Structure 1
Amino acid sequence: MNIADLARPEIRALAPYASARALADSAGILLNANENPWPPEGDAGLGLNRYPEPQPTELKKRLAAYYGVSPENLLLTRGSDEGIDLLMRAFVRPHADRVITCPPCFGMYALSARIQGAELVEIPLRESGDGFELDRAGLSKAGPAKLVFLCSPNNPTGDGLAAETVLELARRRADEGLVVIDEAYIEFSDRQSLASRVAQQPNLVVLRTLSKAFGLAGCRLGALIAHPKVIDLLRRIIPPYPLPTPAVAAAEAALEPEAVAARREQIDLLMDDKRRLVQALETHPAVRRVWPGEANFVLVRTTDGPALVRDAAAAGIRLRDQSAQPGLADCVRITLGTPEENTAFIEFLQDWKA
């Protein structure tokens, strides 16, 4: 099947908006975009009075090299959230198509499906001895869907998925829809990314972000990696200038070799200190279960999860209550901080009684 045939027919018929920067580069005298010719105070040479490239060439080149893919397989987005939204709008017909999620997972998959008017099918993860795992039988019986969302490492459980598990699911669903694997936390894991596999599996889509490991959450910069025909469809509906110039500059700086090496050292420090946090949690009398996972957070079940979140907040420490997620009653997600911040939480925990 031609992968483009899976998209909504009205999207296939669309021509992308032709912005001034898409029609001509920024060289020469610019009288084509109704911009102010003078930059604002404090511009610092960024050229903020000019519209940015729709898909910044240099950043796209650097990210493609980092992810090990061709630039034609890459779409730069405002965080992974925009990638999720674009996929919904391009492939899912309201009140006609289905979307599958596997909760507990990142809530934006289900929210975006509901906003689009999709039929949402939830196949919950199964709690096992070591963590949470896909219900493969449930997925096999779920029927066709335009989009299947997976997350590895999964938020909030921290579990990773084997590459062959994801690829097998994509192969089985090749004629009916896309399998989307969200790798927002992959840099914290020892697993290999599936980004390079999109060339062999046209209905596989990989979501990446600079928000987590690169420390650029405030820049809202993500990447969607897919077959060029999928990228072409999404470019028809993405806003003409999705990425602010300062965010692009920050991302390019973060991808310099020295900066990447420094981030790797920070991640190693973070994950080394994770063992100390896990030990403190496992020995606490009010903690019933600890799921260390493969990401920069730990999931725990306590005798009273909401109370832990409330009492920590009173001590100036913000945690995330996960009790509303399926199967996660009294569960709390704890993000790793600096060693000093982790120490502060451990000291709070030593005095905490549910």
Structure 2
Amino acid sequence: MIRINKNESPLRPLTADQLTSIIQNASFNFYPDEEYERFKQGYAHYYNLSADQIIAGNGSDELIQKLMLIMPEGPALTLNPDFFMYQAYANQVNRPIAFVDADINLSFNLESILSRIEEVQPAFFIMSNPHNPSGKQYSMTFLTAIADKMKSIGGYFVIDEAYLDFGDAYTFELQPHVIQMRTLSKAFGIAGLRLGVLISTPDTIQLIQSIEHPYPLNTLTLHIAIFMFEHIDMTHQFIDHQRVLAIRLRQMFLDNVNDLMMVFPSSTNFVLTKGPAAQSLGRFIEDNGFLPRRYEEPNMNEYVRYSIATDEQLDQLEQLIKSWRSQYDISKEA
């Protein structure tokens, strides 16, 4: 079964020879003090930041948990639906969490969000952008309005940018109450190494560092990440390939089934579909060797989501879509 249900990278960013060399040169008998600083310097250089604006963790999951612990007292607020781990970690540390419910077809109205912020008075508001699961990227105007609203009530705004490398880059003014969260699990293709990053002003980063582990990342993860950020051309080419796969995935659904189901515009490495025909297609694809994401939640049971795959696997997937389409058309004619 080819797994296309977790928004992972189907590709590895390093060759076997590169990986072997990195492991051989990693001093994993020592604590990784220097490696952690080298990683932060490399990551900061890649994104035109400074190292004191960055904290890293064991995946963005650990960083979400840290935010649930370190943010001021009060509820968290997020979108419904959004990344389910926001709610999971809030529950884990007994932080109240409230929601802004989606309009039809998973869209969110800015005025509804601002009104809900005023009502809930959250300690922080967290949302993914591009949004998971819809794939939509929200504009700078949209984000700035939320940031300004959170500042007016003395709260924080956390933007989870896990999929931003597949979308349109933007520069968000760094302010003490604004935190950007990134991951190397998606476009950078190292989900299994667990590496996430928070970006903010140095003062806010120092606040979060007050609960940081002495050595938050292991030596091998750091050496692999350092190699990627010290070989920028190689990393750019890898991410460009991922983006091409994402564009191709979207296009095959638009070309073949857009008239039969809702195919959501996406600035991510996945495509979301909706409707009875989408359910039928999802079952057909799963019966033929690919595992898409099908939802059990009552408010999501009309939806099916597909992550990127390799070029060869996308060839197979497109043929399956065309085969299903042919059978669907014949059944309708009958």
Measured after TM superposition, the shift of residue 284 of structure 1 is 6.8
Consecutive unaligned residues in structure 1, runs of 5 or more: 1-41
Query: 171-180 or 291-300: which moved more?
Result: 171-180
Which of 137, 152, 159 is equivalent to 2:136?
159
Aligned ranges 1:78-227 → 2 under 5 Å: 78-93=58-73, 97-127=74-104, 132-141=107-116, 142-174=119-151, 175-194=153-172, 197-198=173-174, 201-227=175-201
Which of 232, 237, 240 is equivalent to 1:265?
240
Counterpart residue number, 2:310: 338
- Counterpart AA for 2:240: E
- Counterpart AA for 1:106: F
Q: Distance in 1 between matches of 2:272 and 2:237?
A: 27
- Counterpart AA for 1:303: P
Q: Distance in 2 between matches of 1:134 and 1:213?
A: 28
SS at match of 1:123: strand
Counterpart residue number, 1:25: none
Which of 296, 304, 307 is equivalent to 2:269?
296
Consecutive unaligned residues in structure 2, runs of 5 or more: 1-21, 329-334
The CA deviation string for residues 243-289 of structure 1, in whole angstroms up to 9 with x for no partner, is 1111111111212122223124313422441343222453574xx21
Q: Which runs of 4+ in 1 moved over 4 A?
A: 304-311
Measured after TM superposition, the shift of residue 241 of structure 1 is 1.4
Q: Distance in 2 between matches of 1:252 and 1:104?
A: 34
Greater share of residues in helix: 2
Q: Distance in 2 between matches of 1:121 and 1:272?
A: 34
SS at match of 2:216: coil
Relative contact order: is structure 1 or structure 2 higher (C-alpha 8 Å, sep ≥ 6)? 2
Structure 1 residues 283 and 235, CA, compared in 2 at 3 Å: closer, same or farther?
closer
Measured after TM superposition, the shift of residue 77 of structure 1 is 1.2
Residues 124 and 150, structure 2, Cα contact 8 Å, conserved in 1: no
Question: Larger radius of gyration, structure 1 or 2?
Answer: 1
Q: Distance in 2 between matches of 1:349 and 1:152?
A: 29
The CA deviation string for residues 296-347 of structure 1, in whole angstroms up to 9 with x for no partner, is 1110013166665454333221111135174x33101111212221121222
Structure 1 residues 335 and 219, CA, compared in 2 at 3 Å: closer, same or farther?
same
Counterpart residue number, 2:3: none
Structure 1 residues 43 and 346, CA, compared in 2 at 3 Å: closer, same or farther?
closer
Counterpart residue number, 1:31: none
Aligned pair count? 301
Query: 72-81 or 251-260: which moved more?
Result: 251-260
Q: Distance in 1 between matches of 2:298 and 2:57?
A: 27
The Cα RMSD (Å) is: 2.4
- Counterpart AA for 1:319: P
- Counterpart AA for 1:266: H
Measured after TM superposition, the shift of residue 105 of structure 1 is 1.0
Structure 1 residues 45 and 264, CA, compared in 2 at 3 Å: closer, same or farther?
closer
Structure 1 residues 55 and 207, CA, compared in 2 at 3 Å: closer, same or farther?
farther
Aligned ranges 1:221-240 → 2 under 5 Å: 221-240=195-214
The CA deviation string for residues 144-195 of structure 1, in whole angstroms up to 9 with x for no partner, is 101101111111100111112212212222243111001111111124153x
Q: Note if 1:66 corresponds to 2:46.
A: yes
Which of 217, 222, 234 is equivalent to 1:248?
222
- Counterpart AA for 2:321: L
TM-score computed with the length of structure 1 as normaliser = 0.78
TM-score computed with the length of structure 2 as normaliser = 0.82
The CA deviation string for residues 55-107 of structure 1, in whole angstroms up to 9 with x for no partner, is 711110111122222211100111111111111111154xxx21101122111
Structure 1 residues 213 and 281, CA, compared in 2 at 3 Å: closer, same or farther?
same
Structure 1 residues 342 and 49, CA, compared in 2 at 3 Å: closer, same or farther?
same
Structure 1 residues 55 and 226, CA, compared in 2 at 3 Å: closer, same or farther?
farther
- Counterpart AA for 2:140: A
Aligned ranges 1:11-90 → 2 under 5 Å: 44-53=24-33, 56-90=36-70
